[in-house]
Structure 1
Amino acid sequence: MANILVIDDSRLIAHVAKNMLTARGHEVTVATNGEEGLEAVATIKPDLILLDLIMPGMDGYAVCEKIKGSPATADIPVIMLTSKAETADKVRGLEAGASDYVTKPFEEGELVARVNTHLRIKELYESLQETNRQLQELANRDGLTGLYNHRYFQDAMTKDFQRAMRYHESLSCVLCDIDFFKKFNDTYGHQTGDIVLSTLARIVEDSLRDTDLAARYGGEEFALVLYHTPAAAAFMVAERLRESVEQHEFIANDLSLSVTISVGVATYPHPDIPDHKTLIECADKALYKAKENGRNQVISF
């Protein structure tokens, strides 16, 4: 059941509300003033708050505004408890961010019904947020490999390069391309080619830190973003990846395949790299050089 916070300076009202809600299986915490209530909000992160409108010191309006003003607590529904029946007071409470109100003295049925309604709305909202998060994650992923897609990589590079410039951090871009990939499709079929791509994606993921980023750049080309990684360290990461691919046995439809990659590395800061587009272009130039030099090697810009 839900974790509910009651903020009310009337011990009688707080006791009655707690008994009513505890009987319904909820866990109820009581605070007797605004300051104590805000401390409880920060500590227990309640699912719902019952908030008295008129209290000495910090009143319910001010408490509600602080709760709604913090990103950490803004989504917690607040039901105001008020002995005032004037419309203006209710409107002021709703403008402060309250979701609803109950006039004191309240009936058990009304209080429980309003609490359950807003708990259900919160539950549905959180479910919708999670669904949207999952959909956004799917939109950012390549359907075959599960790595981030080209668009997400470009967006990330734009932001990451700006941060690297601002904080004087190292940022490395690695582009790798499967050598002679066309022969896998032409000789064994596109299904085998897809297995090679998916297998390589797993090797790429395993070679990186959790904080780094891997994406399918396009076709048989993959992109890596290495954060706080200077040029020498980025070359070592790329070389380890190249060796891992060369040593791995790719199994596809009962076939054992040997796969190699060519890799280009570029790192900011560099006198010839003023922006993220140039960083990617320089990594691409290094990749082209690696292929031109005979493939299955790492070249740094």
Structure 2
Amino acid sequence: MSARLLVVDDILANRRLMQAKLEAKYYSVLLAENGVEALKIAAEDQPDIILLDVMMPGMDGYEVCRRLKADPQTAHIPVVMLTALNETADRVRGLEAGADDFLTKPVDDFSLMARIGALNRYNAVAMELRKREANGMRAGALAEEEMQGLERGANILLIDSSSSSMQSIRDPLQDAGHRVLTLDEADKAADGRNSNLDIVLLGLSHQAFDPLRLCAHFRTTDATRALSIIVMATSADRELAAQALELGASDIIQTPVVAEELLARVATQTKRRRYVDILRRRVDRGLELSVVDQLTGLYNRRYMTNQLALWMKRASLGSQPLSVISVDIDHFKQVNDKYGHDAGDRVLVQFADRIRTNVRPKDIVCRPGGEEFLVIMPETTGDLAGRAAERIRKSVAAEPFELDDLGQQKLGVTVSAGVAAYAGEDDTVADMLRRADLALYEAKTAGRNRVTNIAA
């Protein structure tokens, strides 16, 4: 998978060398020689990944990274810091500045490409979700409650054959507010190894099992596919760790593990995983809002017409009956005028609940607009639909509607309904809806609070 990378280094020879390596792997490369130029290019060209040198005159890499992550335009771009510094404190400082990874110069080509591949996989998912969100519901920046969710302690599955190693890893994580489970504990827990987990910490070196096979298993199993996987390996197992990245691992931490770096990497992966989860929920919510009426939770006009067309086609192919009920609240305008629109909304919500209670699970209840409702009843004759409409009418009239939170103010409500049945292969959605509206009109002109059934 190709990508566009921004290489930031104040030394021309370093930039050119990195450019040659990346272009040999068919990556598109942008170059910047200082922090100011990097921030400008990142905002304007939106690279997929930024390879950022730390030691630069003026604005160093830590400050550049902080500014990138503070800007909503560039906060989503993964940053890999490259430096000759090899102290744990330097890695932790970079991760705390917002870096997604940290590589020490001279950079091993195999490790570099594996890291880029891992970030590319993350980018592919996050970018697709951002595009879908932008095309549907433009939610903007993360809400405050969503930000709090990013910072919440993680649920971590720890897999390592060494009990002493496990304890040295588990203690600092639990002290920091994370929940850590072993395989045995996860199996015994009520939630098991499901979507409640955020991260898998997987030992690579000196294990009694094949860690690469387990890594591949996590990535090919639906229940664990979305988990972040941090592999733990000694410096001697560098190639093994790079293979793990190619198989789908999200990050690497060198053993023996330093607590500060462990916590920083766990925080980064937790935020990344939850950011993708938030995007998925937003996309789902956007899709739902495109077909669902926000007030009542019923389907809207768009969904109604699409579903009615689909069921009419099925009815024509299978010679199955199909009916619709058009329902309208009597004198609803007077409710709004006398009691206010909040009270009117309460009536609409309660009315939607009563319709749902009095139809079958396979019936499709819609609110095309205002006080108008429509029920699509697959495989149902006009007579049966008429009985259902009468059941709805009686349910509405049987008990008054509450107009306030305390239920102290109540109002009797009635409805009128019209029923139409599918008339055969020459029938259209518009014709069927027109007949249902005509039946509803006849019910209203006949005195309201009644059902009229027009034979097809």
Taking structure 2 as the reference length, the TM-score comes to 0.49
Alpha-carbon distance between aligned partners in 2 of 1:40 and 1:88, rounded to the nearest angstrom: 35
2:171 match:
19
Matched, 1:262 2:417: yes
Query: Superposition pairs for residues 41-56 of structure 1, below 5 Å?
Result: 43-45=192-194, 46-53=197-204
* Cα 1:197–1:123 shift into 2, 3 Å: closer
Report the Cα offset of residue 81 of structure 1: 1.6
Alpha-carbon distance between aligned partners in 2 of 1:39 and 1:170, rounded to the nearest angstrom: 51
What secondary structure does 1:13 align onto? Answer: helix
Report the Cα offset of residue 263 of structure 1: 1.8
Query: Superposition pairs for residues 45-124 of structure 1, below 5 Å?
Result: 45=194, 46-53=197-204, 59-83=210-234, 88-124=239-275
Contact 1:175 / 1:263 at 8 angstroms: preserved in 2? yes
Contact 2:159 / 2:200 at 8 angstroms: preserved in 1? yes
| Larger relative contact order (Cα-Cα within 8 Å, sequence gap ≥ 6) | 1
2:351 match:
203
Report the Cα offset of residue 114 of structure 1: 0.7
Contact 2:382 / 2:421 at 8 angstroms: preserved in 1? yes
> Structure 2: which amino acid aligns with 1:235?
G
Matched, 1:288 2:438: yes
* Cα 1:167–1:51 shift into 2, 3 Å: farther
Contact 1:197 / 1:220 at 8 angstroms: preserved in 2? no
2:373 match:
222
Contact 1:54 / 1:82 at 8 angstroms: preserved in 2? yes
Give structure 2 stretches of 5+ with no counterpart: 1-152, 404-408
> Structure 2: which amino acid aligns with 1:66?
H
Alpha-carbon distance between aligned partners in 2 of 1:104 and 1:168, rounded to the nearest angstrom: 69
Alpha-carbon distance between aligned partners in 2 of 1:80 and 1:167, rounded to the nearest angstrom: 56
Report the Cα offset of residue 78 of structure 1: 0.9
Contact 1:147 / 1:201 at 8 angstroms: preserved in 2? no
Q: Deviations over 1:234-286 (max 9, x none)?
A: 4322112223445676899x9x787541321447xxx8269xx8577436424
* Cα 1:17–1:159 shift into 2, 3 Å: farther
Identity %: 27
- Count of matched residue pairs: 287
* Cα 1:50–1:258 shift into 2, 3 Å: closer
Give structure 1 stretches of 5+ with no counterpart: none
Report the Cα offset of residue 207 of structure 1: 2.7
Contact 2:161 / 2:203 at 8 angstroms: preserved in 1? yes
* Cα 1:208–1:5 shift into 2, 3 Å: same
2:303 match:
152
Higher mean displacement: 43-52 or 86-95: 86-95
Report the Cα offset of residue 177 of structure 1: 4.0
Contact 2:186 / 2:192 at 8 angstroms: preserved in 1? no
What secondary structure does 1:44 align onto? Answer: coil
* Cα 1:155–1:98 shift into 2, 3 Å: farther
Alpha-carbon distance between aligned partners in 2 of 1:260 and 1:84, rounded to the nearest angstrom: 75
Contact 1:238 / 1:298 at 8 angstroms: preserved in 2? no
1:4 match:
156
What secondary structure does 1:208 align onto? Answer: helix
Report the Cα offset of residue 172 of structure 1: 5.2
Matched, 1:272 2:424: yes
Q: Deviations over 1:78-126 (max 9, x none)?
A: 1112235566544432232221111222222211211122123333433
* Cα 1:83–1:190 shift into 2, 3 Å: same
Contact 2:323 / 2:377 at 8 angstroms: preserved in 1? yes
Contact 1:266 / 1:279 at 8 angstroms: preserved in 2? no
> Structure 1: which amino acid aligns with 2:438?
Y
Alpha-carbon distance between aligned partners in 1 of 2:376 and 2:200, rounded to the nearest angstrom: 44
